[in-house]
């Protein structure tokens, strides 16, 4: 076990380093990631996963994946499966099986009976309304329940009746007996068990009482001998109860010391999206997106389908770091991380998204040839491939302008440009649709002496365009994505995040034409479409037709110039 602080440190790693020095946990480090299986994981969870598993990795410790499945009503096996899949995809190892809070229901029940007998818990028969009224406010103390004085025997009898299904939902609850006048509302006799006649996704109908999250969580941590229980800041006010409960159970001999320690950190907020399962569920069920794994979703399954790599996500989580203060991370940082990763690994190919036909009039009709193209200039080991060239090509519609403004250096009437890996070509004639005036075809000539893309006489051109050979290209579909919301903090102004949904977050281009080397690409493969961005093959791909998601754009200097002009 290492006692040195890891390379990238933060306040949590500093606490752990100190605990290792003092031998507080017998030099053991054990963390956990405890999702509730009531939705798909999102980027905020990725931060928590990278932190908990990352710490375990840095300090030769362990990290559990534990499902906090104490609420029977909203939890489903589908969510359990997707969460397991997401954690594994991110590259973390939690052993062969995850753990489940529901496996500890017996222990939690016995702990509750112990608290009753020790005078630390009572059954309250007030209505929910009365309990709310008597809880007090931030500025005024609460009032004791008239049932607070029940004897331990009576409490035990009632609690067992609750367990045995003799009382309807919400007719009574078990509460910790702490202090109704505490300045911390969470310490005013919090509920620890409630009646819920509901089927649980794992325990079926064995139980009709379920532990409250705030009661269950510390016990789960203690049972698993977690050393550092890391959670988000909203649990800070719960920490006194976390400690109170574990202390009582340790006093009673039900738990062994040292007890786990809760540490809070600031949650991830990401601009132009929402990171809340409740809101993400709304996006799915109300049909604003196609599903949990829609590539516009900030879910792990969504960004994965979009073409993000686990390395990029882990790198992002490392860069944002861990702090005690809430802040907003700019989406562009996430995009930077995926560009950086794909730049190293994604093969370059040529694909034309918005095709414009180009005929090379002096290239013989029956001729074709193959040109050498480099697969990845960042990775010499990636080698090269052949791309076919012929008389009819497609180029990008945006690469031509009939009346080019000053800073537009690409193709225009009479102008010469380079076709990547191929030849210099000159635009001789523009063919238009007579009715609409739309440019439908360009007639160009090529200079055979410029094969490979260089001119022997040393003359220069200002632009290099990508292209595909019309008769060799594969037809495909491309899905371009914009942010799901039009504001950095959706709902900040109106209070309803759905009012800020971007109506143009998806653009489908069909047909796009891609070079034939992409034949047979499998879902998940990522490419850089030269000059157009990073793309990934979508699972919607069929044998006859490839579907691509644009993961992220490349930097577009022209767009920047246009923006600056506006």
Pairing of strands 439-447, 355-360: parallel
Q: Which is nearer to ligand ATP, 316 or 548 (CB)?
A: 316
Give the helix/strand (H/E) hosting 442: strand 439-447
End-to-end CA separation in angstroms for the chain? 59
State the helix-helix crossing angle for 105-117 and 213-223, rounded to 10 degrees. 110
Measure the CA–CA gap between 426 and 441, rounded to whole angstroms. Answer: 14
Cis peptide before 511 (omega within 30 of 0): yes
Shortest spacing between CB 200 and ligand ATP, in angstroms? 17
Q: Which is nearer to ligand ATP, 312 or 444 (CB)?
A: 312
Whether residue 484 contacts residue 505, with contact meaning beta carbons closer than 8 Å, is answered with yes
Q: Which is nearer to ligand ATP, 36 or 482 (CB)?
A: 36
Q: Nearest residue to ligand ATP, using CB?
A: 44
Q: Which is nearer to ligand ATP, 231 or 259 (CB)?
A: 231
Shortest spacing between CB 317 and ligand ATP, in angstroms? 9
In the three-class reduction of DSSP (H, G, I as helix; E, B as strand; rest coil), residue 500 is classed as helix
Shortest spacing between CB 547 and ligand ATP, in angstroms? 30
In the three-class reduction of DSSP (H, G, I as helix; E, B as strand; rest coil), residue 388 is classed as strand
Shortest spacing between CB 115 and ligand ATP, in angstroms? 24
For tokens 């809880």, the residue is 135
Which residues of this chain interact with ligand ATP, rule CB under 6 A?
34-36, 44-45, 47-48, 231-232, 267-268, 275-278
Measure the CA–CA gap between 23 and 6, rounded to whole angstroms. Answer: 18
- HSE, side-chain direction, 13 A CA sphere, residue 239: 16
Shortest spacing between CB 104 and ligand ATP, in angstroms? 17
Catalytic annotation, residues: 36, 267, 277
Give 184: exposed, middle or buried? Use CB within 10 Å, 0-12, 13-18, 19+: middle
Q: Which is nearer to ligand ATP, 42 or 163 (CB)?
A: 42
Which residues are CB-neighbours of 391 under 8 A, at least 6 positions away? 359, 360, 363, 364, 365, 367
Shortest spacing between CB 223 and ligand ATP, in angstroms? 17
| Cα pseudo-dihedral 220, 225, 230, 231, rounded to 10 | 10
**∠ at Cα 234 (230, 236), nearest 5°?**
65
For tokens 């990795």, the residue is 57
Shortest spacing between CB 62 and ligand ATP, in angstroms? 17
For tokens 């000159």, the residue is 426
Q: Which is nearer to ligand ATP, 66 or 188 (CB)?
A: 66
Q: Which is nearer to ligand ATP, 234 or 369 (CB)?
A: 234
Measure the CA–CA gap between 129 and 45, rounded to whole angstroms. Answer: 34
Q: Which is nearer to ligand ATP, 225 or 345 (CB)?
A: 225
Retrieve residue 559's tokens. Answer: 């767009």
Shortest spacing between CB 416 and ligand ATP, in angstroms? 53
Distances in whole angstroms, Cα of residue 280 to Cα of each of 38, 88, 287, 298? 11, 22, 11, 9
Q: Which is nearer to ligand ATP, 9 or 276 (CB)?
A: 276
Measure the CA–CA gap between 502 and 482, rounded to whole angstroms. Answer: 8
Shortest spacing between CB 316 and ligand ATP, in angstroms? 12
**∠ at Cα 462 (460, 467), nearest 5°?**
105
Give the helix/strand (H/E) hosting 280: helix 277-285
């Amino acid at each position: 076990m290492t006692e040195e602080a890891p390379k990238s440190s933060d306040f949590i790693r500093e606490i752990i380093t100190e605990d290792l020095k003092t031998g507080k946990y017998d030099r053991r480090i054990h963390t956990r990631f405890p999702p509730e299986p009531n939705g798909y994981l999102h980027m905020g969870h990725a931060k928590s996963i990278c932190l908990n598993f990352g710490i375990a990795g840095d300090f030769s410790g362990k990290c559990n994946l534990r499902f906090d499945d104490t609420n029977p009503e909203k939890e489903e096996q589908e969510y359990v499966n997707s969460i397991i899949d997401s954690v594994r995809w991110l590259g973390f190892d939690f052993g062969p099986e995850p753990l489940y809070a529901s496996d500890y229901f017996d222990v939690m029940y016995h702990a509750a009976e112990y608290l009753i007998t020790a005078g630390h818990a009572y059954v309250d028969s007030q209505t929910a309304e009365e309990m709310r009224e008597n809880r007090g406010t931030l500025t005024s103390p609460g009032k004791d329940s008239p049932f607070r004085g029940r004897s331990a025997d009576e409490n035990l009898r009632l609690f067992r009746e609750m367990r045995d299904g003799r009382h309807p939902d919400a007719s009574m609850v078990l509460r910790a007996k702490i202090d109704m006048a505490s300045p911390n509302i969470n310490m005013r006799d919090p509920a620890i068990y409630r009646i819920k006649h509901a089927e649980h996704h794992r325990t079926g109908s064995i139980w009709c009482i379920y532990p409250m999250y705030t009661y269950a969580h510390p016990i789960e941590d203690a049972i698993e001998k977690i050393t550092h229980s890391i959670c988000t800041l909203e649990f800070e006010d719960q920490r006194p109860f976390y400690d109170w409960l574990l202390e009582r159970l340790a006093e009673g001999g039900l738990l062994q010391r040292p007890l786990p320690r809760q540490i809070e950190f600031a949650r991830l907020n990401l601009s132009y999206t929402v990171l809340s399962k409740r809101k993400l569920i709304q996006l799915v069920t109300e049909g604003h997106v196609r599903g949990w794994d829609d590539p516009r979703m900030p879910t792990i399954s969504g960004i994965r389908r979009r073409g993000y790599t686990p390395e990029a996500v882990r790198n992002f989580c490392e860069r944002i770091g861990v702090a005690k203060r809430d802040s907003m991370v700019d989406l562009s940082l996430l995009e930077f991380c995926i560009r950086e990763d794909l730049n190293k690994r994604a093969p370059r190919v040529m694909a034309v998204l918005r095709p414009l036909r180009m005929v090379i009039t002096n290239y013989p009709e029956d001729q074709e040839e193959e040109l050498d193209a480099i697969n990845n200039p960042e990775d010499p080991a990636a080698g090269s491939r052949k791309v076919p060239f012929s008389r009819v090509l497609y180029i990008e519609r945006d690469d031509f302008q009939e009346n080019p403004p000053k800073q537009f250096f690409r193709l225009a009437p009479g102008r010469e440009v380079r076709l990547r890996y191929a030849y210099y070509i000159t635009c001789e004639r523009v063919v238009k649709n007579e009715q609409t005036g739309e440019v439908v075809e360009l007639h160009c000539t090529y200079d055979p002496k410029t094969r490979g893309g260089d001119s022997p006489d040393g003359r220069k051109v200002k632009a290099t365009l990508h292209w595909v050979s019309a008769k060799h290209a594969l037809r495909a579909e491309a899905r371009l994505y914009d942010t799901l919301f039009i504001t950095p903090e959706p709902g900040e102004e109106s209070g309803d995040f759905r009012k800020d949904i971007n109506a143009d977050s998806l653009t489908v281009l069909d047909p796009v034409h891609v070079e034939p080397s992409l034949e047979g690409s499998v879902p998940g493969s990522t490419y850089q479409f030269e000059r157009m961005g990073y793309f990934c093959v979508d699972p919607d791909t069929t044998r006859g037709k490839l579907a691509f998601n644009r993961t992220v754009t490349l930097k577009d200097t022209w767009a920047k110039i246009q923006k600056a002009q506006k």
